[in-house]
Amino acid sequence: MTARAEIENTLGRAAWGYDENDVDLIAAQFTETATMTMQIGRDGDTIGPFAGREAIRKLHADSLEGQTDQRRHNISNLVIVRETADTASTTSNLSLLSVENGALQVLSSGWYRDELVRQGDAWLIASRHIYLDLPY
């Protein structure tokens, strides 16, 4: 498998984990020392950083706890900005959909900026910044 395909799979597993309420799957896509930040709207304050795999897992678990809908994270337009044998920088777009009571709606759009590292046979997210156009 190519590095690009492995990186796409890492990002896809993180999204799938959220959509399927599997916080362990989400956390497994991050390094032990990963960091994550978020910004909502162009003038929004930066939220975080959330430091470490466990803090990132807890953030997702807390977010999922109050949701009654089915979320679907669609990642597109993946660009590998920089790549070495063991590191990669990527940007990708996000469309966040919600299904509840038989209705589909778009909750938000935005993008991810990820720094990934190869650890053994796996690519893991070392840092992630999420930008959302609207609150989720």
Give pLDDT tens digits for 102-114. 999 999 999 999 9
Instruction: Give the global pTM.
Output: 0.95
What is the Cα–Cα distance from 127 to 48, expressed in whole angstroms?
12
User: What is the dihedral angle through the alpha carbons of 109, 76, 99, 54, rounded to the nearest 10 degrees?
Assistant: -80
**High-pLDDT (> 90) share of the chain, %:** 97
What is the Cα–Cα distance from 51 to 57, expressed in whole angstroms?
10
The answer on pLDDT for 136 being more than 80 is no
**High-pLDDT (> 70) share of the chain, %:** 100
pLDDT at position 1, please? 81
